[in-house]
Structure 1
Amino acid sequence: MSFSSMAKGEMARIMPRKHCCRVAELTALIGMDGTVRALARGEPALVMSNQNAAVARKIYKLCKILFKSLTIQVAVTKRPNLKKHNIYHVLIPYQKWMVEALRPLGLTVKGGGGEFGWQPVSLQDRCCQRAYLRGAFLGGGSVNAPEGTYHLEIITRNHLHARTICEVMEAFELNPKVSERKQYLVVYLKESDQIVQFLNVVGAHHALLEFENIRVVKDLRNHVNRLVNCETANLNKTVETGVRQVAMIRLIDERIGLEKLPAPLKEIARLRLEFPEASLKELGQMLDPPVGKSGANHRLRKLEEMAQQLREQG
């Protein structure tokens, strides 16, 4: 099971206790998944479709709770390809009392059920805002596994719905971005902290903990890799410097002889020949008396200047 499916399964099991929150969540689900279709006998129906069975069950339960006077039907479209998910449909055929039943959800019925209008309901309470975001994610959202690139998105065709989702996210100090993908609008979050906050807002606490656990391991692994890369780069630099300095000292030895050098320069020259891989700090500690990194570097720079003069003399 993917991380996104696991998160949706957890959200689908959350049933709001308050009537207003149930209305808010179902409103978002209808806004995401609801369409008007003609049934086999030609009568229009409001149809909510989803590939996730747990989400479809939640839509059905919410409809049964909120629309006690209406007939609710369920259908399944089976895909011939085994790798494809079935599509689950919750249908509300046009019927008596439908106009009154759907009005609290911001839905208007026109043309004998042939057309449905949708307006977002008032979301003043925080609990309803949480429920609305949960419904929007269940209807058209996905989140990448934290092992990869951090990304959470909610896709909708409706500009008003996209704007409402952004406004509700912003009420929880989230910073959503919006992009266009063909005929869809994509509301998305890219930062890991923002995704964690979203999962907390919608009540997906198990998914949140799983996300955080993986993120901690991932961040630690990246930190270790950076340290290893840094150490490797420093080691390579030390070795390259050592090889260059050994060649420089051998040139001085061939031209004038190390014995003619001042004692401090002669001492560090012999140590560098013996320990070409040693760092400046390590070389400084080998001297008698020991000197610091800057002291060792100063002596080697003197040798380098001397070698450069010898090269220029030919």
Structure 2
Amino acid sequence: MITKNELARVVGPRLCCKTSELAALIKMDGSLQINGRKIALSIANHNAAVARKVIKLSKDLFGIQTEVLVKKKVRLRKNNVYMVRIPPQPELQKMLIKLGMLNGDGSFQEDMPEGLLQKECCRRSYLRGIFLGGGSVNNPGGTYHLEIITGDGRHAEAISGLLQQFGLPARISSRKQWYVVYLKDSEQIVECLNIMGAHTALLEYENTRIYKDMRNKVNRLVNCETANLNKTIDAAMRQSENIRVIAGSIGIEKLPHSLREVAELRLHYPDASLKELGEMMDPPLGKSGVNHRLRKLDKIAEKLNSGALFSVPVKSGRNRH
């Protein structure tokens, strides 16, 4: 809603841009009523600002007189529908021909009006009109998603092609009787908002996106640290249990000095890291050295648990391993 309100206030710099945007709005939301040789046109939209833009463009470009009807939605708290109706009048058929809705002979033109899309400024305006007529962009606090909905498969292909001209690889999916042209990459959505002229919405989107990305990064770091901490705690508990097995079977005092020292430190400091254990040894020992000795203790405990005969040669001195 915020994005559409902003885009509804954006005015194309040239007459051709305004014409292209009005053509897109009518292509997306318009319906013709034909009674004999009389033609009327209705454009329906859920946004009041968009309806006002249709009225203004129609009057400024073609001097068209319009009527406005508001249909209130009471079920499920849905938005009102604003119906801009253009009753039969001589200027209407000329307008429809100019907008590429009708051919010169009065027959219908179903394709996108290529004659209005020769300039880049006009393509930007047409894309803005398409979005105002059937587009939406979600809050980037959730998943990134911008979509444009149309009931015409050929028009969906044309919209996708228009986005691709701006380097935006849009995709198409079907949803019941509708065709959905969408972008899911955050960078592409930001670029699309920029192309249409929604600069304020773009900045708000970027701020929310950066906050979300930072929050996710922090969560990943916290989860990683938590996982590492859990591994450290589990390893320390296993090491302490194995040392108790050794103490109950052969006694820690029977171990070589290098293993006895690290075993006693682990029992006294069950929460200490390998680095901290190494710094408490005399002389200090690095993490890999401490880990090597604890692995030796693990192997001794495994053999004792398996019931294998095991003897530990008592070594004198202060060998590293």
- Whether the TM-score (by the shorter chain) exceeds 0.5 is yes
Match of 2:41 among 43, 46, 66: 46
Match of 2:263 among 266, 269, 272: 269
CA–CA distance in 2 between the matches of 1:264 and 1:14? Answer: 77
Q: Which one-letter code corresponds to 2:129 in the other structure?
A: G
Partner SS, residue 55 of structure 1: helix
CA–CA distance in 1 between the matches of 2:44 and 2:105? Answer: 22
CA–CA distance in 2 between the matches of 1:250 and 1:80? Answer: 73
Gaps of 5+ in 2: 309-321
CA–CA distance in 2 between the matches of 1:178 and 1:290? Answer: 64
Match of 2:170 among 156, 161, 176: 176
> Counterparts of 1:189-208 in structure 2 under 5 Å?
189-208=183-202
CA–CA distance in 2 between the matches of 1:99 and 1:147? Answer: 45
Q: CA RMSD in A?
A: 2.2
Q: Which one-letter code corresponds to 1:211 in the other structure?
A: Y
CA–CA distance in 1 between the matches of 2:111 and 2:120? Answer: 19
> Counterparts of 1:203-222 in structure 2 under 5 Å?
203-222=197-216
CA–CA distance in 2 between the matches of 1:126 and 1:285? Answer: 68
Q: Name 2:315's counterpart in structure 1.
A: none
CA–CA distance in 2 between the matches of 1:110 and 1:84? Answer: 40
Q: Name 1:65's counterpart in structure 2.
A: 60
Identity %, equivalent residues: 53
| Higher mean C-alpha deviation, range 285-294 or range 42-51 | 42-51
> Counterparts of 1:207-246 in structure 2 under 5 Å?
207-246=201-240
Is 2:308 the partner of 1:286? Answer: no
Change (3 A) 1:118 1:66: farther
Tell me by how many angstroms 1:173 deviates.
1.2
Larger-Rg structure? 2
Tell me by how many angstroms 1:38 deviates.
6.4
Q: Name 2:317's counterpart in structure 1.
A: none
- Would the aligned equivalents of 1:36 and 1:116 in 2 still touch at CA under 8 Å? no
Q: Name 1:11's counterpart in structure 2.
A: 7
Q: Which one-letter code corresponds to 1:63 in the other structure?
A: S
- Would the aligned equivalents of 2:152 and 2:179 in 1 still touch at CA under 8 Å? yes
Gaps of 5+ in 1: none
Partner SS, residue 36 of structure 1: strand
CA–CA distance in 2 between the matches of 1:59 and 1:248? Answer: 79
- Would the aligned equivalents of 1:27 and 1:120 in 2 still touch at CA under 8 Å? no
Q: Name 2:31's counterpart in structure 1.
A: 35
> Counterparts of 1:90-129 in structure 2 under 5 Å?
90-108=84-102, 116-122=108-114, 123-129=117-123
- Would the aligned equivalents of 2:39 and 2:93 in 1 still touch at CA under 8 Å? no
1:96-133 residue CA offsets vs partner (Å, 9 max, x unmatched): 24333321211117998xx8543322312211111111
1:152-179 residue CA offsets vs partner (Å, 9 max, x unmatched): 1000012222122111111111111100
Partner SS, residue 275 of structure 2: helix
- Would the aligned equivalents of 1:238 and 1:278 in 2 still touch at CA under 8 Å? no
Match of 2:21 among 2, 22, 25: 25
CA–CA distance in 2 between the matches of 1:130 and 1:36? Answer: 26
Change (3 A) 1:272 1:291: same
CA–CA distance in 2 between the matches of 1:160 and 1:28? Answer: 14
CA–CA distance in 1 between the matches of 2:171 and 2:275? Answer: 50
CA–CA distance in 2 between the matches of 1:276 and 1:16? Answer: 71
Partner SS, residue 70 of structure 2: strand
